[in-house]
Amino acid sequence: MEAASIAHAEHHGPPPAHHSSRVEAPTLGMMLFIISEVMIFGAFFTAYFFIRVVSHDPWPAAGTHLPEAVAGVNTAILLSSSLTIHWALVSIKHGNRFGLRAGMVTTFLLGLTFLTIQVNEYIHIGFAPHDSAQASVFYALTGLHGAHVFIGLALLLMVTVRSFRGHYSAEHHRGMEVPGIYWHFVDVMWVVVYTTVYIV
Amino acid sequence: MALSSKLRAPGWYRAALYDILGFAFAFGLVVLIRWLMHQHPVVDGRAITIVALIAVPLFFLVGLGTADYWFYWAAGRPQRAEDHSSHGAHTWRDYLRVNTDHKVIGIQYTVTSFFFLFVGGLLAMLIRAQLAKPGMQFLTPEQYNGVFSVHATVLIFLFVIPVFAGLANFVLPLMIGAPDMAFPRLNALSYWMLPIAGILMLMSFLAPGGSFAAGWTAYAPLSTTMPLGQLFFTVAVQFAGASSIATALNFLVTIITMRAPGMSFFRMPLLVWANFSTSLLVVIATPFIAASQFFVLLDTALHFHFFDAFVGAGKDGNVIMYQHVFWFYSHPAVYIMMLPGFGIISEVLAVKARKPIFGYRMMAFSLLAIVVLGFTVWAHHMFVSGMAPWIRIPMMITTAIIAIPTGIKIFSWLATLWRGVLHLDTPMLFALGFLTMFTLGGISGVMLAMIPFDIHVSQTYFIVAHIHYVLFGGSLFTIFAGVYYWFPKMTGRMFDDRLGKWHFWMTFIFFNLTFGPMHLIGIQGMPRRVAEYAHQFATWNLIISLSSFVLGLSTLIFLYNMVASWRGGPRAAANPWRALTLEWQVSSPPPVFNFDAVPTVVGGPYEYGVPGAVHGIFAPPEEARPVAAGAPAGRGGRTASSAGSTGEDEE
Amino acid sequence: MAVIGVVATAVGIAIALSIHWFPADASTQAQNLRTLYDVLLIVSVPIFVLVATVVLYSVFNFRMKPGEEEKDGPPIHGNTRLEVVWTALPAILIVGLCAYSYSVLRSNESTHPGAMVVNVTARQFAFEFSYRNAAGREVVSPDLYMPARQPVVFHLRSLDVIHSFFVPEFSEKLDAVPGIVTTLRVTATRPGKYPVECTELCGAGHSLMRSAAIVVTPAAFKTWLSAQKPNAPPPVGVPPKNAAQPGVPGSTTPYANPKPPKE
Ligand code: HEA
Ligand code: HEA
Ligand code: CUA
Ligand SMILES: [Cu+2]
């Protein structure tokens, strides 16, 4: 405690930091990251707004149409994955490792299905990003979201692997809770994208 | 170590290897895709360069070892206990590797940023040499456009923004009594993205067709029709942006969750408040510039049509959209480049005037007011852009309103000086220089907010004058003040105050001679971003150029002072300025883990002149009792007290 | 100190007003702006003088004197009355300035029913001005000719990237944006020849994208216009892909006109 000499301080490591907030650092970090992500989407929606509303051009571009029905089914798939990951979280909170594993695997597979259907939609949709500004916005918005699903899936995969190695318990499960927040965000964002791009 | 094991361990050898891998990856990916899509030729240099621009830096980061821990985690292996092997610096070599100590990262940031100040400044010298006489000098117009674009981009993204992050990285955890930042590994990653961004920007000079040359604003559709060099900007800005988002997030979490016991929000030093506000701006606004550059990248590389007004048949893109998205970031960015400076000034003025900050709470609130207002004014950069005219009116009003919270800050600083005991050393001189010069720049800003006046001077040298009064007279003066102020803490050495004063006076005088006349030639109609101008402006431009060269030389005094003092300056005491804030209560430089035990905060940070005032106590809360008056400051004395203590414990 | 401040303010305002800031004014818009600028100076100088005087006064009077190395200043934490004053005063100034600027803007941009229309087409790296002559045919000129004292409406278009049309003596400028038509209003007053500058970075030739605005008497303008040979209408709109010089007069490609602006 007396002289804070370098050599002395080194072998006992840093003092434990004081927790000045009830929120855990990783959770808060994820929240702030999500705010950033929302703003990225916000900027892409700005592009959408200018090309659709300010320029007063038809949406989608003349001679094209968007498969609302297929995308609707896809929406349902993605939304149900939010339920399964929640189930996984509730399970591990009760110490139910099986529920955790089953929940994680289902969530991962649902997400993967969503992404596959999305790619399939690109292949059959009948227009390319360089056909019109509307097409550019369509691919950019859904593609941005697709990229987030991809990252989310990568996180889910890690959590799934770790859950099979028994890394989580009723007390310690922040490692799956924080990626879970991200996955919920990806789902909610899709609802916004689906509504604005396909429905409205 | 054998080469093969060097190639496997994190570090520069592996980074070099991974760079090669990254390039091979880019090459392979492009060839594969083009082959699959039947495009000819399959080997396309431009496409490979674009993919490599993104892939090589990412591979480099992995090779250097910024992500090893996360891969370890991702692979599902059991977590290692932190062995602190990447903490602290013992030799200068430790500054060249991935290090998770916030103090090391702070110095890495600061030194790297100053390197880019000199690069950017040197480019400014080129600008001024070209403009010394009317008519073309030694740069072609393309080269000239490239030079001022890189000048501005480097100084904004690689100097002002990161140098503030660097100074705060060093002092902020100390100030709030935290052993480190909340996410030390993310902190290291943030730092290493910076040199990447800088090197990409400078490498653009080697690109076929020259460096990026669409200004730092890179308006579409000019930027989407430029040669390859423009993409170096597009990608480099993504790295700089990601770096600043990650740092901001780290600051916010650190400030919210790691303050010492007793340090309520209203006991935080104003530098912490300033970085808190700045980080909010960064986290919310920076994604917009990322998006704007994604659009440009998609338009250029994959022929999207965000900004193509000539697709026809109701399928056109929207050109003005770029400017809205860009300025929605870049206006807040100017406060990202100013608010941390406000924080520095508050620290320096209180300590050097030996008085509490006047109106502490209003100082904090006005920062938050600027954050909020900062998001409502972006279109004041677009008064002549051809957007819907009515948007100009609300933007004029909100822009002008920002003068009120800023005015509160300026006047409170003036009141802090009043009846103080002013120590007029180098940091203080720069702080006072800031007060006057930033007021000038701010006033010209409010003039610009007045639409009819802006219509006349927009895109002229009046804007160049405003830019440099706020960025040089504002931000850079605060940076100099901050660097001198914390130099003893960061290096453990004192700087040469006499040289510092020379630096100040030369900078102050020739700064005004360089940028002052620009107001006049701007109003008279000299456009900005021109390599060549009318004869009527010749005299003023010659004066400006000559002054700017002396201004450049004055920076060499600073450089010499820093280098010489760091190597051989007299040893600094723990608390040479008799400051109250916590960073001065530990040794200079601070111990590896900052504190033996987290201090307890029992009072405000600026209680100068208050008998017996105490800010922090170095004992756990239960035993915390202020030490009596006369206890030696610094190493031995564990109280942060300016004039002894009455034994009153506020906790 | 108050005396020094007042004197410095008076001197400062006098100097600021005596500087020839602007080029000669040649439009009603420019005349309005000159007055607005004088008001801005009269408001700004006292603010700067106030800040500078307090700083200098403090430096001279409150600097640390020998023997005061350990001394601290009085612990003043704030003063609500003062803080209210320095919040309210700038607020009042700002309200005044914004209101006045708004009225100048309104009058500078007011519409005139009989205004003459000039189409401005910008491209890398030249301007083109087109008029309708008495016979209703299109006349194209590389220089801008304008009758004095007659309101003119400019419709600006761009064929490639963003450009900006600026005449310092008119104190008016506006971007020419690809894909849309933008509208600018000027009433020239003083006959003479003024520079037209492109003020938006548009590529390598940006510095050289200059032209001339020639203001003449209405009679002289009529004579000029009728002496001009009507050309093909200036090609406006979609340039052919890969055209090296899109929109060169005489080019045969017919272009669709972008939507005209709503008045
Ligand atoms: C550090 C960076 C910084 C800061 C802090 C500011 C601060 C301000 N800026 Fe500036 N600005 C830039 C950097 C900055 N700016 C840059 C880089 C550009 C050009 C970008 C480009 O095109 O390349 C620009 C351009 C720019 C424009 C666009 C001009 C154009 O392109 O046509 C405008 C217009 O409104 C503007 C306004 C303002 C205002 C009102 C403030 C205010 O925040 C200032 C507030 C401060 C004060 C007013 C002084 C203190 C107050 C008092 C003493 C109280 C009393 C005062 C009054 C009542 C007036 N700025
Ligand atoms: C923090 C930001 C910052 C800083 C510090 C500076 C510093 C300087 N700037 Fe810059 N500038 C900008 C930000 C900045 N600038 C921005 C944003 C723009 C707008 C760009 C755009 O339009 O897109 C701009 C544009 C700009 C222009 C207008 C270009 C144009 O529109 O055509 C000019 C012209 O004079 C200029 C000059 C200078 C000068 C002389 C300095 C000096 O202060 C530099 C001083 C020198 C040094 C700091 C060190 C270097 C010196 C040495 C290494 C040794 C000395 C050598 C010799 C004497 C030969 N700048
Ligand atoms: Cu056209 Cu600049
Ligand atoms: Cu701004």
Nearest CA, atom 1, ligand 3: C163
Ligand minimally distant from the alpha carbon of residue B475: 1
Q: B313 vs A62: CB contact, 8 Å cut-off?
A: yes
Interchain pair B407, C87: CB under 8 A: yes
pLDDT tens-place string over residues C66-96: 888 888 888 888 889 999 999 999 999 999 9
Q: How far is C220 from chain B (nearest CA, A)?
A: 27
Nearest to C200 among B435, B459, B525 (CB): B459
Give residue ranges with CB within 6 A of ligand 2: B 117-118, 121-122, 124-125, 127-128, 148-149, 151-152, 155-156, 159-160, 215-217, 464, 467-468, 471-472, 475-476, 514, 528-530, 548-549, 551-553, 555-556
Complex confidence, ipTM: 0.92
Q: What is the CA radius of gyration of chain B?
A: 25
Contact B304 A16 (CB under 8 A): no
From the CA of B159, give the closest atom in ligand 2. 1
Q: Are B441 and B474 in contact (CB under 8 A)?
A: yes
Token pair belonging to B647? 């034994």
Alpha-carbon distance C248 to nearest alpha carbon in chain B (angstroms): 17
**What residues form DSSP beta bridges with C167?**
C172
**Which of A41, A101, A136 best probes binding to B when mutated, by most B CB atoms within 10 angstroms?**
A136
Residue whose entry in the numeric block shows the structure tokens 């309104």? C106
* Ligand nearest to the Cα of B160, by number: 2
CB B377, CB B399: distance < 8 Å: yes
Q: Output the furthest CA–CA distance in chain C (Å, rounded).
A: 90
Q: Cβ contacts of residue B74 below 8 Å, gap of 6+?
A: A158
Stretches where chain B sits below pLDDT 50 are: 623-651
Option in B76, B287, B635 nearest A158 (CB): B76
Segment 116-145 of chain A within 8 Å of chain B by CB: 129-137, 139-140
Rounded CA Rg of chain A: 22
Q: Which chains sit next to C, with 3 or more Cβ pairs under 8 A?
A: B
A147: its two tokens: 């990229």
- Enumerate residues 6+ apart whose C-beta is below 8 A from B419: B355, C62, C73, C74, C76
Selected for mutation to probe chain B from C13, C17, C48, C86 (highest B CB count within 10 Å) is C86
Cβ atoms B157, B234 nearer than 8 A:
no
How many angstroms separate the alpha carbon of residue B151 from the centre of ligand 2?
Answer: 6
Question: Which atom of ligand 3 sits closest to the CA of residue C206?
Answer: 2
Find the B525 Cα to ligand 1 centroid distance in Å.
20
Q: Which residues of C touch B222 (CB under 8 A)?
A: 161-162, 201-203
Give pLDDT tens digits for C210-256: 999 999 999 999 999 988 888 655 444 444 443 333 333 333 333 33
Answer whether A186 touches B (CB < 8 Å). no
| Pocket flag, ligand 3, residue C132 (CB < 6 Å) | no
Chain B residues inside the 8 Å CB shell of C79 = 358-359, 415
A45 touches B: beta carbon within 8 Å: no
Q: What is the pLDDT of residue C119?
A: 94
Write out the E strands in chain C: 116-123, 126-132, 138-141, 144-147, 151-158, 163-167, 172-176, 182-187, 192-198, 210-216
Nearest to A1 among B84, B586, B597 (CB): B597
Distance C129 CA to ligand 3 centre (A): 15
A62 to chain B, any CB pair closer than 8 A? The answer is yes
User: Is any atom of ligand 1 closer than 6 Å to the C-beta of C94?
Assistant: yes
Of all ligands present, the nearest one to the C-alpha of B442 is 1
Subunits close to A (at least 3 CB pairs below 8 A): B
Nearest to B532 among C21, C109, C208 (CB): C208
Place of tokens 């193509």: B308
| Ligand 3 centre distance from Cα of residue A10 (Å) | 61
C-alpha span between B455 and B382 (Å, rounded): 10
- Is A21's Cβ below 8 Å from some Cβ in B? yes
* Number of residues that make up chain A: 200
Q: Taking the C-alpha atoms of B449, B455, B461 and B462 in order, what is their torsion angle to the nearest 10 degrees?
A: -30
Residue B405 is predicted with a pLDDT of 96
Report how far ligand 3's centroid is from the alpha carbon of B390 (Å).
25
Instruction: Give start and end residues of each alpha helix (H) in A18-96.
Output: 25-49, 68-93
Our CA dihedral for A128, A129, A131, A135, rounded to 10 degrees, sits at 100
Pocket test for ligand 2, best of B126, B148, B470, B514 (most atoms within 8 A of CB): B148
For ligand 1, the distance from its centroid to the CA atom of residue A88, given in whole angstroms, is 52
Model confidence pLDDT, tens digit, residues A52-77: 988 888 888 888 888 888 899 999 99
The number of the ligand nearest the C-alpha atom of B547 reads: 2
CB of A183 within 8 Å of a chain B CB? The answer is no
B444 Cα: distance to centroid of ligand 1 (angstroms): 7
Instruction: Tell me which chain A residues have a C-beta less than 8 angstroms from the C-beta of B286.
Output: 36, 39
Q: What is the per-residue pLDDT for A30?
A: 93
pLDDT at A3: 37
From B253, B263, B287, residue closest to A43, measured CB to CB: B287
Are the Cβ atoms of A133 and B587 closer than 8 angstroms? no
Two structure tokens written together for C61: 């009077």
- 8 Å CB contact of C204 and B452: no
Query: Closest ligand 2 atom, CA of B531?
Result: 32
Q: Residue B252's pLDDT is what?
A: 97
Q: Cβ(C47) to ligand 1 under 6 A?
A: yes
Does B222 contact C162 at a Cβ distance shorter than 8 Å? yes
Instruction: Report the separation in Å between the CA atom of B200 and the middle of ligand 2, taken as the mean of its atom positions.
Output: 20
Between the CA of residue B614 and those of B360, B603, C19, what are the distances in Å? Answer: 17, 6, 53
Pairing between strand C144-147 and C182-187?
A: unpaired
* Confidence (pLDDT) at B84: 63
**Residue ranges with CB less than 5 Å from ion ligand 4:** B 331
Highest mean pLDDT among A159-163, B646-650, C30-34: C30-34
Task: Confirm or reject contact between A171 and chain B (CB < 8 A).
Answer: no
Residue-wise pLDDT tens digits, B511-527: 999 999 999 999 999 99
Q: At what angle do helices B360-374 and B270-302 cross, to 10 degrees?
A: 10
Q: Give the mean pLDDT of chain A.
A: 88
How far is residue C60's CA from residue A114's CA, in Å, rounded to a whole number?
Answer: 72
pTM, two decimals, is: 0.92
Decide if A158 touches B, using CB distance below 8 A: yes
Contacts of B299 in chain A (CB under 8 A): 136
Q: Write out chain B residues lying below 8 Å of C169, CB-based.
A: 525
pLDDT score for B79: 59
Is the CB of C200 within 6 Å of ligand 3?
yes
pLDDT of residue B187: 93
Secondary structure string (H, E, C) spanning B99-164: CCCHHHHHHHHHHHHHHHHHHHHHHHHHHHHHHCCCCCCCCCHHHHHHHHHHHHHHHHHHHHHHHH
